[in-house]
Amino acid sequence: MVAQSDFAFRQLTRNHGATLTYTQMLHARNFVSSKSFRSDNYDFNTETEGLKYGNPPLIAQIAGDDVGYMTEAATILSESGVDGIDINLGCPQAIAKKGNYGAFLLPQTDITTEIVKSIKRNVPNTPLTAKIRIQEKLEDTLMIARKLEEAGVEMLTVHGRTVKENKTLTKQANWDAIREVVRHLEIPVIANGGIETPQDVEAILARTSAVGCMSSEALLENPSLYDFDNALPMDCPSRVFLDRQVKLCKEYIELAKLFPPVGNGRFGGHSAVKAHVFKMLYTAFSNPKFQDLRNKLGHKKTYRIDQTEEIVNDLEARLKIATDEEIQFPRTFSWYRRHRQPLVVQPVINKNAAKAEINMRLQTLKERRMKRMNSLT
């Protein structure tokens, strides 16, 4: 997950049952070449994370198609103290296609096996894993998986969808294909895809015989997905569900205060905070009654954690006085399913305000230009 697996969020998931976490995906070339990229994207906590402290292991994930950069990135990460290195061969996004990495590199087995062998030669003492997506044909999936195993991958995560099956084209994950990979490999296999509830975790493990279950998008909305002892039933009242989501947000915000996410851009690390809060409170923000809070969270003037915390507290207070009917929503409605259902609420855009802001920016640019010209004459 790019820019969404910050330390505070990883710790939140650990607090609620996660036994293995990953850093966000790191582009190997950028990671090796740019110190600013490393400082803005890599936040391994050397004082608390990992097996050496008796905590759940942390694996750093890298992506790229250049053997040299991938090997050097793995070396740097290994020396930093992480518990493992993961090669991302599952990203289906357009940027991965453009950069020839992720799921688009996966069929190029000559490159992927060379990367694996090079990392194993140069970083022999750090476990090496990989994540893949299934192919259109099962035999191609099995061939690729075997080649990765033979090259030196020590654990494989298999997403049960093809590269085309994402966003609006998302289909039911193919757990049977994952089961076949499990049957044909000697190394441990982690199952991934179609995990929305704790019941799904139990089901995919039973169906595939995998050693573990990975969640990404569903976990972003419900960081307590692996907290089996306190799992909510699907038919629980909306109020109970929303109360839990608010509590998770507040717990995350407290962690983010202690360990601010790294980052650059308009909001810096606070972009991650805003994104996490939005996903956790997606169902509440999709209610017209709370649309103003959704818009406020997304506004450029909300750039500090205390401002985001105020929005969450405001929502909590308003939920307490709302009637059950006012906050009722179908339990099948969620951020996880956002590509498979229409939005209930569209953000309100004030066209006049937007036009005024554009004119103000143009005027500022004009004044700066005139000032530069005057300085030259």
Q: For residue range 125-154, what is the model confidence (pLDDT) as tens digits? A: 999 999 999 999 999 999 999 999 999 999
Look at 248-257, 280-289, 366-375 and tell me which has the smallest mean pLDDT.
Answer: 366-375
Task: Express each pLDDT in 280-339 by its tens digit.
Answer: 999 999 999 999 999 999 999 999 999 999 999 999 999 999 999 999 987 677 878 777
Contact of 156 with 189, CB cutoff 8 Å: yes
Residue 342 predicted with pLDDT over 90: no
- Specify the amino acid at residue 98: K
Q: Which residue in 21, 17, 55, 18 sits closest to 229, CA to CA?
A: 17
Contact of 191 with 208, CB cutoff 8 Å: yes
Q: How confident is the model at residue 2 (pLDDT cuts 50, 70, 90)?
A: confident
d(CA 181, CA 371): 66
Helices (H), the chain: 7-15, 28-33, 35-41, 67-80, 94-99, 109-122, 138-151, 175-184, 198-208, 217-221, 238-258, 270-280, 282-285, 291-298, 305-321, 351-376
Region label for 209, one of left (φ > 0), alpha (ψ between -120 and 50) or beta (otherwise): left
Residue 250 predicted with pLDDT over 90: yes
Residue at token pair 């070449």: 33
Residue at token pair 């930093």: 80
Residue 115 predicted with pLDDT over 90: yes
Mean pLDDT of the chain: 90
d(CA 95, CA 270): 23
What is the average pLDDT across 255-282? 90
Q: What is the pLDDT of residue 81?
A: 95
In the numeric block, which tokens belong to residue 51? 């097996």
Per-residue exposure over 156-191, b if at least 16 CB sit within 10 Å of its own CB, e if not = bbbbbbbbebbeeebeebbbebbbbbbeebeeebbb
What is the average pLDDT across 206-231? 94
Residue 359 predicted with pLDDT over 70: no
d(CA 111, CA 109): 5
Contact of 50 with 39, CB cutoff 8 Å: no
Question: Residue 308: is it exposed, middle or buried by C-beta count within 10 angstroms (0-12/13-18/19+)?
Answer: buried
In this structure, the number of other CB atoms found within 10 A of the CB of residue 199 comes to: 13
Contact of 90 with 47, CB cutoff 8 Å: no
Query: What totals of helices (H) and strands (E) does the chain contain, helices first?
Result: 16, 8
Q: What is the pLDDT of residue 334?
A: 83
Q: What is the pLDDT of residue 356?
A: 60
Q: Is 91 known to be catalytic?
A: yes
This model's pTM is above 0.85: yes
d(CA 63, CA 87): 6
Angstrom distances, CA of residue 107 to CA of 102, 104, 113, 176, 190: 10, 7, 11, 20, 20
Q: Considering 91, 213, 236, 249, which one is annotated as catalytic?
A: 91
Residue 263 predicted with pLDDT over 90: no
Residue at token pair 């093809």: 162
Instruction: For residue 315, give every residue at least 6 positions away whose Cβ sits within 8 Å of its Cβ, in sequence order, or none.
Output: 246, 281, 284, 290, 293
Residue 167 predicted with pLDDT over 70: no
In this structure, the number of other CB atoms found within 10 A of the CB of residue 65 comes to: 18
* H helix or E strand, kind and range, residue 158: strand 155-159
Instruction: Report phi then psi at 26, rounded to 5.
Output: -115, 120
